[in-house]
Amino acid sequence: MRQINKIFIFVIVAITIYSCNEIMLNIEDPVIPESDRVVLIEELTGASCPNCPKGSAAIEFILSEFPGKVAVVGIHGDFLAQPIKDKSKYDFRNQKAKDLENWLKPWYGKPAATTNRILTEDDQEPYAISSPDLWYAEVAKELQKPHQMNILLAVDYDENKRTIDLDVSVIPLVDLAGNYNISVYLTESDIIDAQSNGSEYVEDYEHKHVLMDMMTNATGDSFGTNLKANDVIKKKFPTYTLPLREGLFNPEKMEVVVMVSKSDVGVRDVVQAAYKKVK
């Protein structure tokens, strides 16, 4: 009996050592092909959201890992987006942000983010994934897909009039069947204001990629049907005047973000995004 017990113990120890060796295997970084593909992240966030700084940190990590490959829009809509009483200087909410957030519902909570509006396998989170730990992998997966479209931006800012003139040229690289929309976001970064963070408040938090307004409808404007490879599709947008709001709409801290997405029933995939500083 003692001999059997010794053999049993030896087998258990051997299995344990082998298992430990298996855990130590390295996971290789994703291989991202050389292309001009740019992925869009739409982050659902809010000043009164105690977990949202974790989402913002995940976004900044993604931007550092994929420089020039990712465009970000931070959407302060309805849920947990209200200013913090007696602490916030600004209210980042606007009607198009609210409409866009509600259009991307439902989700388990905030922070949440869509990556190229790809439909997930979760009925409760069809577009916006509420776990920031998963966002990096989603972006990497999108960047490995074929590059199918170029978007060229010409942004002209008139400092005296505070106006933006935007011309967009879209060049499909392959034939693209179906219907397509175009969306134009105006975002602002480096805004210092209060932010809920766990059980505390950070009064000098740096808000980035805040959606200030859109030069299209919240869900985009119709752009075209059955796009043909190598056709150059040009679109000039009406002149936009930056509002006069103290501390906000600073052109030196703003970006124009443009994306083209599918617009068929149940399909909202973003084909390509582009971004450029206002000034």
Q: b/e for 83-116, b at 16 or more Cβ within 10 A?
A: bbeeebebebbbebbbbbbeebeebeebbbbbbb
**CA-based nearest residue to 270, from 114, 124, 67:** 114
pTM over 0.75: yes
The reported pLDDT for the residue numbered 124 is 80
pLDDT, tens digit, 9 for 90 and up, residues 205-230: 999 999 999 999 999 999 999 999 99
Q: How far is CA 273 from CA 37, 75, 128, 184, 218, in A?
A: 8, 17, 18, 10, 16
The reported pLDDT for the residue numbered 233 is 98
Reported confidence tier of residue 107, pLDDT bands at 50, 70, 90? confident
How many residues are recorded in the chain? 279
Distance, in Å, from the CA atom of 120 to the CA atom of 127, rounded to the nearest integer, reads 6
Contacts of 227 (CB under 8 A, 6+ apart): 170, 172, 175, 176, 180, 233
Distance, in Å, from the CA atom of 185 to the CA atom of 193, rounded to the nearest integer, reads 21
Per-residue pLDDT averaged across 82-105, rounded? 95
Helix (H), strand (E), coil (C) string for 136-185: HHHHHHHHCCCCCEEEEEEEEEECCCCEEEEEEEEEECCCEEEEEEEEEE
**CA-based nearest residue to 47, from 154, 193, 177, 176:** 193
Per-residue pLDDT averaged across 82-92, rounded? 97
81 C-beta neighbours (distance < 10 Å), count: 22
For each of the domains in the chain, give its residue range(s) and CATH number, in order of start: 30-277 (2.60.40.10)
Distance, in Å, from the CA atom of 74 to the CA atom of 47, rounded to the nearest integer, reads 11
68 C-beta neighbours (distance < 10 Å), count: 9
The DSSP 8-state label assigned to residue 196 in this structure reads E
Residue 67 one-letter amino acid: P
> Among 25-39, 121-135, 207-221, 225-239, whose mean pLDDT is lowest?
25-39
Strand duo 176-188 + 210-214: pairing = antiparallel
Choice between 153 and 22, residue whose per-residue pLDDT is larger? 153
pLDDT, tens digit, 9 for 90 and up, residues 242-259: 999 999 999 999 999 999
Q: In the block, which residue shows the tokens 């599709």?
A: 233
The reported pLDDT for the residue numbered 106 is 66
User: How high is the mean pLDDT of the chain?
Assistant: 90
Task: Take residue 63 and report the two structure tokens written for it.
Answer: 């931007």
Phi, psi of 94 (to 5 degrees): -150, 165
Reported confidence tier of residue 6, pLDDT bands at 50, 70, 90? very low
Is the confidence at residue 24, as pLDDT, over 70? Answer: no
Percentage of the chain with pLDDT > 70? 89
pLDDT, tens digit, 9 for 90 and up, residues 135-183: 999 999 999 999 999 999 999 999 999 999 999 999 999 999 999 999 9
Per-residue pLDDT averaged across 87-111, rounded? 92
> Among 107-111, 204-208, 238-242, whose mean pLDDT is lowest?
107-111
The reported pLDDT for the residue numbered 99 is 96
